[in-house]
Chains A and B, each alone.
Chain A
Amino acid sequence: MSYTIGIDVGGTFTDIVVSAPGGNTIIAKAATTPADQSDGVLNGIGLAADRLAMTAGDLLRATTRIVHGTTVATNALLEGKVARTGMLTTAGHRDVIEMREGLKPDRYNLRMTPPRPLVPRDLRLPVTERIRSDGSIGIPLDTTSLDAAIDTLRDANVQSVAICFLHSWRNPAHEHQAAAAVRDRLPGIYVTTSFDVLPQIKEFERFSTTVANAAVGPVIQNYLGRLQSRLRDAGYGGELLVILSHGGVASVAEATRLAAGTALSGPAGGVAAAVALVRDGLSPNIIGFDMGGTSTDIAVVRNGQPNLSGDKAVGGARIALPSLDIVTLGAGGGSIGKLDRSGLLAVGPESAGAVPGPACYGQGGSGATVTDANLVLGYLDPANFLGGRRRLDLDAATAVVAKLAADLGIETADAAAGIHRVVNSRMADGVRIATVRRGVDPRGYTLLAFGGAAGLHITAVAAELGIAHVAVPIAASVLSAWGMLNTDLRVELSRSQGQSGSLDTTGLRSAFAAMEDEGRARLSWFDGEVALRRSADMRYGEQVFEIPVPLDDVDWEAPTLAADLANRFHAAHESLYTYALRDQEVVLVNARLSVIGRLPAVERGAADLAVTSAAPKAHRRIYLGAWIEVPVFDFLTLAAQQRIPGPAIIESDTTTVLLRTGDTACFDARGWLDVTIDHQPRPA
């Protein structure tokens, strides 16, 4: 009789999903408490316990696993509320993190200032030393310069130190020596080296990631330490696990060591949910569509596997750790519709945010947001938002939309429909580019709705993209937290190889062996099954971009190993780019190993479903080009295989789905609404 708890802390709500013995799933939402997120977490656990008619202590004592997604690191980076951080780096190269390889966003904007680096120049201190590109020592580490630099950091009262030397990926001796000196002279300080964080060639990625790790390390250390001890005090005896940016989970100790790896912890649960739904029998190819207040996150799951990428940035900080490939569009429920300076209707990127929020929240919002438009159009029920816990102010929404309508010279309903249509179109364009960029044709994929508001937009977005299938899970509004119940422990490791050209198979075998030792050591506390997945980043000699090549069933002892690896790369290149150059030199840049500790799957009970088709619980007037009356169904009372043709609305406390003419929903007993889109071109 044990419980599993998933906790997702978002900008507005902290979502709790409890998997109870027998497979029953309980959902709770508490307000997020930005000053200390652990308050909201404990409140949410209390609410969930209420629903189970238990005390929080009884629930926690009966819980064997808690998986947590946190935005603490993300928010610290976005708001600049990070630890006071110093950096020791190779003399002559102290500006690497600020130069950003000469790139600047927004090509036509020459009136902008550079982003502030996480460590200012006066705390980026040169140490006389130099490792050469072959790993030999060009200049031995000069301890006088090291001591002087540490003196400066001590006088500046830094809380954290990043140690970043050139070519440490090849030879970390100087970084280790410097780290030992810092730990010795500044006890209690958070110390991290670039070799420990990301032992890969390319100094900007490595240094920037290490500095981000140092900047959020103490913040994560404090937060997770506090949360863990509060959970222990409340009765929890298990391990607190944290979901990392790559979608696997890790212990508090590991999440603290690799704190920058929690930067995408929040949205990672959603991708884990998509992968779990693939296992439950939803299509193997899914585009996750997580529509929030200010932005929409898009993630592709192909053949049941999410993509990882190393090119993420959070709050301007480059973090090159392997991360789920989530693309964020600047459009969501809070995006504001207005006339731009050219007189055309634009929706976003300006957003009303959580405060003041849309006008209909009645907190002083004055912009006509997407949510206001949805309310004016009748898609949302003013009395049943969040199960009636927040009443929406239709008059306030109508007033702001009417003002925009007057500016446009059209009727209020048409202006609301215009906001709805423009934001759908922007999101469809965003999905198209996010998928095409990854070589994915979205038309064969299922679009998966996350978040409470996605269901109002998702069928129109699908229709624009030529997508035929949409899925809306019952748990759509808390899907990220639910996804956390379906994750494994994971350690992602990498080692750059020499770049000499011909594949050094001996070096590669020993790199994989060393990574396996390290990974198993990091999971030494875990007594379950451990699996390994190998891959490599490879390219042709003259190229600059590597591509990931899976190496899972390679015979590592075969005498033809070098040729086998090259052939795998040629095949991967051909499938991505339509051609291979078999006479060209192949370079293996990074060897990668995922060490996966399998966690027991949570129980899935057969839901207690109605046998007879549910009748509409009400009818509502909505605007779809004209005002029409449509049936409204209760999501939670639908019978298995019950079919509902559009136009109709299906809603629960936390999720509303709009079916348009031509859409047909069918309730799948495994826990989601399967919507088929008939995409005849829609009238303009």
Chain B
Amino acid sequence: MRHDPRMTDPITIAVLQNRLSAIAEEMGEAMLRTAYSQILNSSRDFSIALIDAQCRLVAQADHIPVHVGAMPWAAKALSARFPDPSPGDVYLLNDPYRGGSHLPDLTVFVPVFAGPTLMFWSVVRAHHSDIGGATHGAYNPAATEIWHEGLRLPPMRLTENGVLREDLLEMLALNVRHPRDFRGDLAAQIGSARLGEQRLNAVIQEFGAETLAASIEAMLDAAERHARQIVSEWADGEYLGEAVLDDDGFDKTNIVIRARVIKKGSDITVDLTESDPQVTGFINSSHANTQSAVAMAFAFMLDPDIAKNDGAFRPLTVKLKEGTIVWAHEGAPVTMCTSHCSNEIIEAIIVALAQAAPERAMGGWGRRLRIALNGTDPRTGRRFIWHMFQARPGGGGSVAGDGYSTIGEWHSAGGIKFGSIEVAETRFPLVFETHEYRLGSGGAGLHRGGDGGDMRLRIEAAGTTMANTAGEGVVHGARGINGGQDGAPHDYTLLAPGAAARKLKSKEINVPVPSGSVIHVRSGGGGGWGRQPPIDPVPEATGAKAP
């Protein structure tokens, strides 16, 4: 449907576009203030979307990029199951095979009506700190099926006649490890989605449903025009890009994502059907997560200020095949997928599109490789669990210049804070002997990739601490683009007193770490951008010194 220009005017459209974005942002602020768990109120691992009755993304707030492209798919799954919502309803889902991305991400929906007609879904997705399953926090490198990963929730209605069903909430809370966090965070999500409903109701009342609907059509059309203008500047052709995962933690190594990208006029087709078959471990992707990763790669290639709505993604067609790593058959484990293989999907597409639009492509961003420690603090005798967010990998170089150092990965793109070392040393029996840049780890190029981190972490726990790793990037570093070099891969070593140095793999559980050990993390650098000019054999006498 194209909008009828008689029903609206360019000023009203601009006002409404600002208003809808502001509503999404206000919902995010409400979520931040009321969420209970640290992963939400510190790391901000949640996202907001306003979706229309046709399941099109209308507005969003910039939170976690990997969530947002997935939300319309969640709305489609919900609408298919509940075609006739009523005012006051609240819905929930997380199942990766029914509109979700991975189990820890719970998505809440509240319908918004104009008179009797459904007009919007107010949607809040949040990463919960636990969702049941075999291991704390859902990341289980040993999982071989989704039932090892946690509780599956198909699209479900949480309310009866507009009142939350306490029995249902109790059942959900019983199946997770931190019921109070779970209920607090879910309450925050519902509160935020209902705030969106109130604000949208006010807009409908103020402007009328017809003007609002017509303005939304115009907004989506405008974003489409903007995106098509950009795409049409790229060189037509068919381009192949590949990115490689180290392993699945079981028997598969060097798992390849293949992106065949066809660019014609202002249209882009991303065909991932030639990617490797699905694997045993949790790096498989769900359908919605892959759709979102593709949308994210496309958004990274556009202008950062483009309105991120359905219109901006209209030039994009995605082809996937079930049974591949980017769309696993129902039942496979997928918890790692929002990081891996999302990062590799994005990278493969950027590598392909670099051939069509080299100025817009950026060097690869690093991989995520997390460490969790589980031990006893000798100062208190209490157990502790510590998650590593320090020593992040480097970001890629770009046309703008060198990349950011220790900034994170493609999928978080500088959105996750690692926090204070002084606080970590005060709260945990840990000493950060060093935490600096790992110089030279960024890929060389006309513009260098950012450096990774170099961290020597001494563990002063009582007795033996257990370490788990989960992630990628020990073998394959972030890709260089346009002739830039790849970033160095990760290199994590355990130095236990009196023992030989032991390299850590990317998917290990229960590695014993004796007290006094040092874990030496050297994280990967970002990919370089552009060919490094040959070094002048007669260097100039003076000039800027490299920092």
Contact = CB atoms under 8 A, between A and B. Distances in A.
A103 B414 contact: yes
A579 B437 CA distance: 42
B426 A133 contact: yes
Interface string B1-42: 000000001111111011101100110011001100010011
Given A113-B402, A342-B223, A543-B41, A138 B422 contact: no
Interface string B425-468: 11100011111110000000000001000001000000000000
Given A202-B420, A439-B33, A499-B423, A421 B15 contact: yes
Given A110-B365, A201-B420, A545-B41, A104 B11 contact: no
Contacts of A576: 33
A403 interface: no
B177 interface: no
Contact of B406 (A102, A341, A439): A102
Interface residues of A, number: 68
A187 interface: no
A110 B434 contact: no
A367 interface: no
A93 B425 CA distance: 14
A111 B406 contact: no
Q: Which of A101, A106, A108, A166 has the most CB of B within 10 A?
A: A108
Contacts of B413: 104, 107-108, 110
Given A102-B417, A543-B41, A681-B205, A436 B30 contact: yes
B436 A433 contact: no
A95 interface: yes
A684 B12 contact: yes
Contacts of B433: 92
Given A103-B414, A344-B10, A425 B19 contact: yes
Contacts of B230: 341
B421 interface: yes
A437 B61 CA distance: 14
B436 A110 contact: no
B304 A106 contact: yes
5 contacts: A104-B415, A110-B395, A341-B303, A422-B14, A684-B12
Given A108-B62, A432-B26, A422 B11 contact: yes
Nearest to B545: A122
Interface in B160-195: 184
Given A114-B450, A341-B225, A341-B226, 18 more contacts: A92-B456, A93-B436, A94-B436, A101-B419, A102-B416, A103-B414, A107-B413, A108-B299, A110-B396, A111-B399, A132-B431, A166-B422, A342-B222, A342-B225, A344-B17, A414-B11, A433-B25, A433-B26
B418 interface: yes
B307 interface: yes
Given A98-B405, A166-B421, A544-B42, A344 B222 contact: yes
B22 A112 contact: no
A496 to B, nearest CB: 9
Contacts of B398: 110-113
B365 A425 contact: no
B419 A436 contact: no
Interface residues of B, number: 89
B425 A112 contact: no
B25 A111 contact: no
A298 to B, nearest CB: 14
B202 to A, nearest CB: 9
B406 A167 contact: no
B437 A95 contact: yes
Contacts of B392: 102
Given A138-B431, A410-B10, A418-B11, A425 B18 contact: yes
A121 interface: yes
Contacts of B403: 113-114
B348 to A, nearest CB: 16
Given A102-B416, A113-B401, A418-B10, A108 B407 contact: no
A101 B382 CA distance: 28
A506 B89 CA distance: 53
A543 B38 contact: yes
A422 B15 CA distance: 6
Contacts of A543: 38, 41
Nearest to B430: A133
B82 interface: no
Contacts of B34: 577-578
A469 B436 CA distance: 53
A127 interface: no
Nearest to A434: B29
A341 B18 contact: no
B362 interface: yes
Contacts of B14: 344-346, 418, 422, 425
Contacts of B62: 107-108
B404 A114 contact: yes
B239 interface: no
Contact of B422 (A203, A340, A341): A203
A144 interface: no
B22 A342 contact: no
A92 to B, nearest CB: 4
A417 B11 CA distance: 9
B329 interface: no
A189 to B, nearest CB: 22
Contacts of B18: 422, 425-426, 429
A167 B218 CA distance: 56
A99 B405 contact: yes
Contacts of A103: 414-417
B394 to A, nearest CB: 11
Nearest to A341: B226
B253 interface: no
B427 A108 contact: no
A109 interface: yes
A407 to B, nearest CB: 10
B147 interface: no
B360 A111 contact: yes
B226 A340 contact: yes
A70 B207 CA distance: 45
Interface in B183-222: 184, 205-208, 211, 218-219, 222
A282 B91 CA distance: 46
A123 B306 CA distance: 39
Nearest to A92: B434
Interface in A120-153: 120-122, 132-133, 138
A542 interface: yes
Interface in A507-558: 542-545
B547 interface: yes
Interface string B40-84: 011000000000000000000011010000000000000000000
B465 to A, nearest CB: 18
B426 A342 contact: no
A204 interface: yes
A379 interface: no
B3 to A, nearest CB: 13
A276 interface: no
B29 A437 contact: yes
A92 B12 contact: no
Contact of A99 (B15, B17, B406): B406
A343 interface: yes
A416 B420 CA distance: 50
Nearest to A117: B547
A169 interface: yes
Contact of A577 (B33, B304, B400): B33
A44 B26 CA distance: 43
A62 interface: no
A116 to B, nearest CB: 9
A408 interface: yes
A421 B396 CA distance: 40
A341 B229 contact: yes
A287 to B, nearest CB: 16
Nearest to B410: A110
Contacts of B42: 544-545
B419 A544 contact: yes
